[in-house]
């Protein structure tokens, strides 16, 4: 019972679709953040739920770790094979299986990326709302309970997945949820698997809620004298009940990176980027009301875009902000933070964070989904200077402690992975032990993405193959 024996047992099933080439292993040991590369021992490329089930069943027999792999865009090292094992790469399970326009839902395989899905839905008049920065897979987004710029209006993955097909730790296939819009039928297994980061099961199919393309959309960017003015505008907007579809904050440094990366000419000042969805008159009215609030708090330089190509460019730029920041610093890596606080504490959290970063001497621009109280510092570190990483981690630690002290969470949307695991006890208290009991109940051998989410005792380490 070793990882190697599991790999040997999988070969007849998968043939060429089980890879142990160094390049493949290295690719599946990478991450977009500062964690050390941690390759698996093999990479499997299943083409069906039945194959995923067979892979997991075989790995279970051999006590071999199984780690789901989407697009590799995790910022917290979710898919790193910290105990070795087999990475299950869903890139060959990337189809849209059904679109039901009347019910405004669709059924997809986990390997489809959000941009590919948007492309497939373009002609239907419907769209899927959740949009993390990266072009992540829907399976990965579900496994990490991802969100993005539209959560303030349409919610996160928690609110936009009607049901799942999941392969459990023994290979059993279950379906959670139904195609009904709501249900009070027993434990909410859909919600349990969303955000479980591959530690309770592998998601092999998703039923997603779709939204109708609004009749009218209007986007805008405006600049503010200070961060506090921008954040206070967001708070006032929410409290007035102005229905925003997006309201995003970027600081002066991010505006500068946009100018460098996307060729814009924003003033180097804090900005809000926003969007309204609705009827023609509704959007106009919302925009006017927002303009008044923002104007009172010092907003200037409004740029409105009603054309879809302008809007697409704007949001593509926003989504690529992390990459724009990295691109402005060749050879550097980043520590991305991800706190979310009650909205009443947001201005305080942002200004304290900015002061703390300024004092540290590190470069760390701020941006975020401030309508949810969620923001990120992208702390840029030089891999050649170990003290940079130490400083960044200390900053990130103080940010997270601040968020928890304010009644917030250590991760608004990036998930736990290995980056946030150290805060699970502080955030959840005795609830963390409950998570361990759930893990133990559904994965008693601890083969599913070991080392993640639950206390380490609940996920025994395995013997690596080599």
* 422 binding its own copies? (CB under 8 A): no
Residue 400 token pair: 């997270």
Q: Which is nearer to its own copies, 214 or 298 (CB)?
A: 214
Contact region with its own copies (CB under 8 A), list: 62-70, 234-242, 249-257, 314-322 = 234-242
* 234 binding its own copies? (CB under 8 A): no
φ, ψ (nearest 5 deg) of residue 167: -95, 120
Distance from C-alpha of 396 to C-alpha of 419, rounded to nearest angstrom: 10
* 228 binding its own copies? (CB under 8 A): no
CB within 8 Å of 458: residues ≥ 6 apart: 436, 439, 440, 446
DSSP states along 146-170: ---TTHHHH--HHHHEEEEEEE-TT
Number of residues counted as binding its own copies (CB under 8 A): 90
* 60 binding its own copies? (CB under 8 A): no
Single residue of 271, 332, 420, 462 touching its own copies by CB under 8 A: 420
Sign of the C-alpha dihedral computed for residues 420, 423, 428 and 432 taken in this order: positive
Q: What is the CA radius of gyration of the chain?
A: 22
Single residue of 6, 56, 99, 235 touching its own copies by CB under 8 A: 235
Residue 445 token pair: 């051998």
Q: Which of residues 183-202 bind its own copies (CB under 8 A)?
A: 183-189, 191-192, 194-196, 200
Query: What are the residue ranges of helices labelled H in 297-368?
Result: 308-319, 321-327, 346-360
φ/ψ bin of 358: left (φ > 0), alpha (ψ from -120 to 50), beta (otherwise): alpha
Inter-residue contact 334 to 380 (CB < 8 Å): yes
Single residue of 3, 56, 151, 250 touching its own copies by CB under 8 A: 151
* 424 binding its own copies? (CB under 8 A): yes
Q: Which of residues 356-375 bind its own copies (CB under 8 A)?
A: 372-374
Angle 389-199-205 from CA coordinates, rounded to 5°: 115
Q: Give Cα 191 to chain centroid, integer Å.
A: 16
* 248 binding its own copies? (CB under 8 A): no
* 137 binding its own copies? (CB under 8 A): no
Single residue of 47, 428, 455, 464 touching its own copies by CB under 8 A: 428
Distance from C-alpha of 195 to C-alpha of 202, rounded to nearest angstrom: 12
Q: Which of residues 18-57 bind its own copies (CB under 8 A)?
A: none
Residue 397 token pair: 């630690």
* 173 binding its own copies? (CB under 8 A): yes
Single residue of 285, 348, 382, 401 touching its own copies by CB under 8 A: 285
Q: Which is nearer to its own copies, 188 or 382 (CB)?
A: 188
Q: Which is nearer to its own copies, 102 or 265 (CB)?
A: 102
Q: Which of residues 86-105 bind its own copies (CB under 8 A)?
A: 100-105
* 350 binding its own copies? (CB under 8 A): no
Q: Which of residues 265-284 bind its own copies (CB under 8 A)?
A: 278-279, 281-282
Single residue of 403, 448, 459, 465 touching its own copies by CB under 8 A: 403
> For residue 430, which of 463, 458, 455, 409 has the smallest C-alpha distance?
455
DSSP states along 184-198: -SSS-HHHHHTTSTT
Q: Which of residues 203-222 bind its own copies (CB under 8 A)?
A: 212, 214-215
- The distance of closest approach from Cβ of residue 191 to its own copies in the complex, given in angstroms and rounded to an integer, is 3
- The distance of closest approach from Cβ of residue 18 to its own copies in the complex, given in angstroms and rounded to an integer, is 27
- The distance of closest approach from Cβ of residue 342 to its own copies in the complex, given in angstroms and rounded to an integer, is 4
- The distance of closest approach from Cβ of residue 297 to its own copies in the complex, given in angstroms and rounded to an integer, is 16
> For residue 31, which of 386, 334, 370 has the smallest C-alpha distance?
334
Q: Which is nearer to its own copies, 43 or 335 (CB)?
A: 335
* 381 binding its own copies? (CB under 8 A): no
Q: Which of residues 103-132 bind its own copies (CB under 8 A)?
A: 103-105
Distance from C-alpha of 406 to C-alpha of 383, rounded to nearest angstrom: 32
Q: Which is nearer to its own copies, 39 or 412 (CB)?
A: 412
Q: Which is nearer to its own copies, 87 or 242 (CB)?
A: 242
- The distance of closest approach from Cβ of residue 13 to its own copies in the complex, given in angstroms and rounded to an integer, is 22
Q: Give Cα 94 to chain centroid, integer Å.
A: 18
Inter-residue contact 412 to 405 (CB < 8 Å): no
Distance from C-alpha of 414 to C-alpha of 151, rounded to nearest angstrom: 14
* 409 binding its own copies? (CB under 8 A): yes
Q: What is the dihedral of CA 360, 400, 138, 172, to 10 degrees?
A: 140
CB within 8 Å of 391: residues ≥ 6 apart: 360, 361, 362, 381
* 246 binding its own copies? (CB under 8 A): no
* 442 binding its own copies? (CB under 8 A): yes
Sign of the C-alpha dihedral computed for residues 15, 17, 22 and 28 taken in this order: negative
* 159 binding its own copies? (CB under 8 A): yes
Contact region with its own copies (CB under 8 A), list: 79-87, 235-243, 329-337, 389-397 = 235-243
Contact region with its own copies (CB under 8 A), list: 61-69, 156-164, 299-307, 309-317 = 156-164
Inter-residue contact 156 to 130 (CB < 8 Å): yes
* 223 binding its own copies? (CB under 8 A): no
């Amino acid at each position: 019972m070793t990882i190697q024996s599991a790999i040997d047992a999988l070969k007849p099933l998968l043939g060429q679709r089980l890879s142990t080439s160094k390049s493949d292993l290295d690719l599946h040991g990478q991450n977009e953040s500062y964690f050390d590369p941690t390759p698996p021992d093999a990479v499997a490329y299943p083409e069906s739920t039945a194959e995923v089930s067979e892979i997991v069943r075989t790995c279970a027999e051999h006590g071999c770790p199984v780690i789901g792999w989407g697009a590799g865009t995790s910022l917290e090292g979710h898919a790193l094979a910290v105990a070795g094992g087999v990475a299950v790469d869903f890139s060959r399970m990337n189809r849209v299986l059904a679109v039901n326009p009347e019910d405004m839902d669709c059924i997809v395989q986990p390997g489809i990326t959000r941009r590919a899905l948007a492309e497939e839905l373009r002609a239907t008049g419907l769209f899927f709302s959740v949009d993390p920065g990266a072009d992540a897979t829907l399976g990965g987004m579900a496994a990490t309970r991802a969100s993005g710029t539209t959560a303030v209006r349409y919610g996160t993955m928690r609110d936009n997945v009607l049901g799942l097909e999941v392969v459990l730790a023994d290979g059993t296939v279950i379906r959670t949820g139904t195609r009904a819009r709501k249900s009070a039928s027993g434990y909410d297994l859909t919600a349990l698997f969303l955000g479980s980061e591959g530690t309770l099961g592998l998601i092999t199919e998703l039923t997603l809620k779709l939204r109708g393309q609004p009749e009218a959309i209007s986007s805008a960017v405006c600049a503010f004298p200070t961060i506090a003015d921008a954040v206070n505008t967001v708070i006032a907007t929410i409290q007035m009940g102005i229905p925003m579809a997006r309201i995003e904050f970027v600081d002066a440094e991010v505006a500068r990176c946009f100018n460098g990366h996307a060729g814009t000419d924003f003033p180097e000042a804090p900005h809000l980027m926003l969007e309204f969805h609705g009827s023609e008159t509704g959007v106009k009215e919302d925009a006017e009301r927002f303009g008044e609030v923002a104007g009172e708090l010092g907003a200037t330089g409004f740029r409105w875009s009603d054309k879809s190509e302008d809007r697409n460019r704007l949001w593509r730029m926003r989504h690529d902000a992390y990459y724009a920041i990295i691109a402005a610093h060749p050879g550097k890596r980043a520590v991305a933070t991800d706190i979310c606080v009650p909205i009443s504490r947001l201005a305080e959290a942002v200004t304290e964070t900015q002061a703390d970063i300024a004092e540290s001497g590190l470069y760390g621009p701020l941006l975020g989904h401030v309508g949810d109280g969620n923001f990120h510092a992208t702390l840029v570190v030089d891999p050649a200077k170990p003290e940079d990483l130490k400083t960044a981690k200390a900053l990130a630690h103080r940010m997270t402690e601040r968020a928890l002290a304010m009644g917030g969470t250590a991760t608004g949307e990036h998930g736990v992975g290995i980056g946030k695991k150290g805060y699970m006890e502080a955030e959840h208290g005795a609830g963390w032990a409950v998570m361990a009991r759930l893990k133990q109940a559904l994965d008693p051998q601890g083969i599913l993405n070991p080392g993640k989410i639950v206390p380490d005792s609940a996920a025994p380490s395995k013997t690596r193959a080599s």
